[in-house]
Every structure is written in structure tokens, then in C-alpha cells.
């Protein structure tokens, strides 16, 4: 007799859909692994002494948040890909359902935190470009930037807390081969009826499934899962990002007319701003599909939205969390120089006694 409820029957995919989802899951794992490596390198570069400033601390916080998402993708989607190969290594079954729920919650929190950390970084760039004399009022020190990142994380945890209570652990019941399916019937969500259940069923995989709160509470689904989730995770951060980046773009267009009179520091500030605008553009493209998915699933249901399209939205979110390192390298001149300095120190072993790179005397960090 299991301590967990029986799992509901899962939706059966066609052979074509199964292979497509399998390929997408493997793609998510591959992109997440590469992105995690890139984020680790980004964190090291951004923490170097030459990069220490208010915006770099915010970018480190964003890197950590994205890395948590990617780590969750590797575990959750990797276990799903193995499951298609008849290898059961799901977190709930191997480590425990509590760990599985914590992993999923961490991914939700990291997703919300990433959206608002991107907005905070945009606001920092906006003050630096459009309000340079007031910028120090908002981002006076790294400590204040740390408090902003901490506040965003706390908000993300509180907002996603209800998701902890919408799932529960279940365990598959596998009928022996000599038992027909007529002996088993379902009588509602989480309710199971059968003939002599302990004797005729083999306990299978432990999984996490949605409970009655998710399925039966219309108020919860409309107010929280749809309205609050759609507004908080997409509309509000996207509006903030669009407004701030349009203002920054206009200001940068003005500055190009007087580029010859700009100082090296001002040109470097513009380079950082261009880098952020590219980050925001990719954020918008990848998260737009997620917003469309929420709308279609709420108004039309899963019948109008194939499982393949749902997995594609997951792939785009993984891509968004993985691509920042590439953007930093392409658009951030100072980041590139510090990255080359780091590789030079690794190659030649020029590290100080404290473990910091000791090659900055020979490498200029100015543009």
C-alpha cells in the first residue's frame, strides 16, 4: 500500500509528437548546459575588480537567477528525456517529492526574479544615460544595488508561494499483465477505485501532479494563475522595459551626433546600454510566446494548444536564460577585454596570492 495517491492517467502522445517532444527536451538540456557554463564565466568576469560597479552587481544577480532556471531545466527536462528511453530518474522518484517541489518552486521564483532584475538593470542604465546627475541617488553604492536585488528576490518568493500548495505527490499503479483494464476505474481527481487495490496493482513511479486547488478552484485559476501570473510575470516588466529602453534609444541617437566630443567613459556607457537593449529585445521575443501560451491555455484549453508548442515555449525560456553570455561578448567591449584578461591569466597562471587575476597591469580596460 502506497502512502501517495494514485496518479491520474497521462495524456498519450502520438509517435510523431513523442519524438518531437523528445528532441525539444534534449535541445533544452543542451542549451541549458551551454548556458550554465556561459553564466558561470559571466559571473567570474563580472566579479573581477575592474568590473565592480552597481550595474555589474545587478548583472551578477541576473546571472545567478538565470543559472537557477537552467539548473532546474537540466534536472527536470533531462529526467523527462531519459524517461522516454525507459530510464526512470525523475527527482520525485529518486530523491523525493519534496525535492522535486523545491526544484520547481526555485525555477518559478528564478523566472519572476529574472524579469524584474532585467527591469532594475534597465532602470539603472536609464538613470546613467538619461539622468546622469541623478543616477548616484538611486545607485549610490553596490550595497544599494544588493538591496534592490534582495527585494526583487523576496517579492518573487512571495508571489510564487501559492504554487507550492497547488501540487501533491502521487504514485502510479501498474496493473499486472494478467489483470484487465476493466478492473480499474477513475472516480474523479485524485480519487481511485479498483478491485482489491493493494493486491492487483504494482507501485510505479512517484510523480508530482496538480491537486484539487489547481483543477477545481475557478477563482484560483482565474485570479492567480491567469490574471496575476500574466500581469506580474509578463505585462508589467515588459511595459517597464519597453518604456525605459525607448527613452534610452532616443537619448543614444542624440549622442551619436556629438560622438566626437564624447569622453571614453561616455562611449563605454553607451556600449553597456546597447548590450542591455539587445538583452531586453531577446527577452521580449522569448517571453512573448510564453504570454501567448498562457492566453490560449486559459481561454481555449489544451485542445487548441499542442504539447509541442508548450515545449517550444519552454525551449525559448531556456534560450533566453542562456544567451546573455553571448550578448555580453558581442556588445560589451569592456566585458570582452576582461574576458580576454581572465583567459590570459588562466593560460599563464598570473594570479595574485588572493587568487585574483594579476594581469591588469598590462591590459587596458578602456575602450
| Nearest alpha-carbon partner for 55 in 110, 129, 113 | 129
What integer pLDDT is reported at residue 112 of this predicted model? 94
Of these ranges, 12-16, 17-21, 307-311, 320-324, the one predicted with the greatest mean pLDDT is 320-324
Lowest average pLDDT, out of 48-57, 311-320, 358-367, goes to 358-367
276 domain residue, yes or no:
yes
128 domain residue, yes or no:
yes
179-to-172, 196, 198, 199, 256 alpha-carbon distances in Å: 16, 12, 13, 11, 77
365 domain residue, yes or no:
no
C-alpha cell at 79: 529526467
359 domain residue, yes or no:
no
pTM for this structure? 0.77
pLDDT in tens, 239-260: 998 888 888 878 777 766 555 5
Average pLDDT of span 216-238: 85
Q: Specify the residue for cell string 538619461.
A: 130
295 domain residue, yes or no:
yes
CB 46 within 8 A of CB 67: no
- What CATH number did the domain enclosing 99 receive? 1.20.1070.10
What integer pLDDT is reported at residue 40 of this predicted model? 94
Lowest average pLDDT, out of 15-19, 69-73, 361-365, goes to 361-365
Q: Specify the residue for cell string 529585445.
A: 281
Of residues 37 and 336, more confidence is placed in 37
pLDDT in tens, 18-27: 788 888 889 9
d(CA 57, CA 91): 32
What integer pLDDT is reported at residue 181 of this predicted model? 47
367 domain residue, yes or no:
no
266 domain residue, yes or no:
yes
Q: Residue 128: which domain range?
A: 5-347
Domain tally, the chain: 1
Query: In the structure, what pLDDT confidence band is assigned to residue 194 with cuts at 50, 70 and 90?
Result: very low
Amino acid at each position: 500500500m502506497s502512502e501517495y495517491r494514485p496518479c491520474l492517467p497521462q495524456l498519450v502522445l502520438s509517435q510523431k509528437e513523442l519524438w518531437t517532444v523528445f528532441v525539444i527536451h534534449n535541445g533544452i538540456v543542451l542549451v541549458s548546459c551551454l548556458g550554465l557554463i556561459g553564466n558561470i564565466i559571466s559571473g567570474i568576469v563580472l566579479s573581477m575588480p575592474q568590473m565592480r560597479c552597481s550595474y555589474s552587481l545587478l548583472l551578477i544577480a541576473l546571472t545567478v537567477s538565470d543559472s537557477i532556471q537552467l539548473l532546474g531545466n537540466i534536472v527536470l527536462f533531462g529526467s523527462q528525456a531519459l524517461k522516454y528511453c525507459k530510464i526512470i530518474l525523475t527527482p520525485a522518484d529518486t530523491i523525493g517529492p519534496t525535492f522535486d517541489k523545491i526544484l520547481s518552486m526555485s525555477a518559478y521564483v528564478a523566472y519572476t526574479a529574472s524579469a524584474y532584475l532585467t527591469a532594475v538593470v534597465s532602470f539603472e542604465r536609464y538613470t546613467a544615460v538619461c539622468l546622469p546627475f541623478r543616477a548616484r541617488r538611486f545607485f549610490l553604492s553596490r550595497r544599494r544595488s544588493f538591496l534592490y536585488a534582495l527585494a526583487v528576490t523576496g517579492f518573487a518568493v512571495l508571489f510564487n508561494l501559492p504554487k507550492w500548495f497547488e501540487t501533491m505527490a502521487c504514485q502510479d499503479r501498474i496493473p499486472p499483465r494478467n489483470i484487465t483494464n476493466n478492473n480499474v476505474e477513475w472516480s474523479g481527481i485524485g480519487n481511485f477505485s479498483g478491485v482489491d487495490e493493494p493486491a492487483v496493482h504494482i507501485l510505479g513511479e512517484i510523480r508530482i501532479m496538480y491537486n484539487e486547488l489547481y483543477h477545481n478552484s475557478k477563482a484560483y485559476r482565474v485570479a492567480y494563475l491567469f490574471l496575476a501570473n500574466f500581469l506580474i510575470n509578463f505585462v508589467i516588466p515588459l511595459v517597464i522595459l519597453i518604456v525605459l529602453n525607448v527613452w534610452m534609444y532616443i537619448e543614444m541617437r542624440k549622442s551619436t551626433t556629438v560622438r566626437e566630443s564624447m569622453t571614453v567613459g561616455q562611449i563605454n556607457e553607451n556600449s553597456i546600454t546597447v548590450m542591455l537593449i539587445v538583452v531586453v529585445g531577446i527577452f521580449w521575443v522569448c517571453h512573448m510566446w510564453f504570454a501567448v501560451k498562457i492566453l490560449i491555455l486559459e481561454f481555449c484549453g489544451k485542445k487548441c494548444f499542442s504539447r509541442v508548442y508548450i515545449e517550444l515555449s519552454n525551449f525559448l525560456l531556456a534560450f533566453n536564460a542562456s544567451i546573455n553570455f553571448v550578448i555580453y561578448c558581442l556588445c560589451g567591449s569592456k566585458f570582452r577585454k576582461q574576458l580576454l584578461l581572465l583567459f590570459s591569466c588562466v593560460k599563464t597562471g598570473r594570479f595574485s596570492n588572493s587568487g585574483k587575476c594579476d594581469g591588469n597591469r598590462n591590459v587596458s580596460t578602456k575602450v
